[in-house]
Chain A
Amino acid sequence: MFIDIQNMCFNYTNSSAKAVEGFTFSVQKGEVISILGRSGSGKSTILRLIAGLEMPKCGSFTLAGKKIFDDYTFVQPEKRGIGMVFQDYALFPHMCVADNILFGLPKMSRHEKMKRLKEVLELVELEGFEKRYPHQLSGGQQQRVALARAIAPQPELILLDEPFSNLDTDLLVKIREDLRRILKKANATAIFVTHNQNDAHALADRIIKIKDGRIDQVGRPCDLLGIPTNDEVELELLPEESQKELVSV
Chain B
Amino acid sequence: MTPTEYDFLKRFLKERSGLMLSDDKQYLVESRLVPVARKNGIDTLSGLVQAMQRGGNAVLSNAVVEAMTTNESFFFRDKTPFEHFNNIMLPAMLEKRASSRSVKIWCAAASTGQEPYSIGICLKEAAHKVAGWRFRILGTDLSSEVLEKAKAGIYSQFEVQRGLPIQMLLKYFAQQGDLWQINPDLRAMIEWRKLNLLENFSHLGEFDIVFCRNVLIYFDQQTKIDILQRIAKMMPEDGFLVLGAAETVVGLTDAFQPVPGQRGLYQLKQAASATAAPRLAMASSFGLK
Whether chains A and B associate is: no
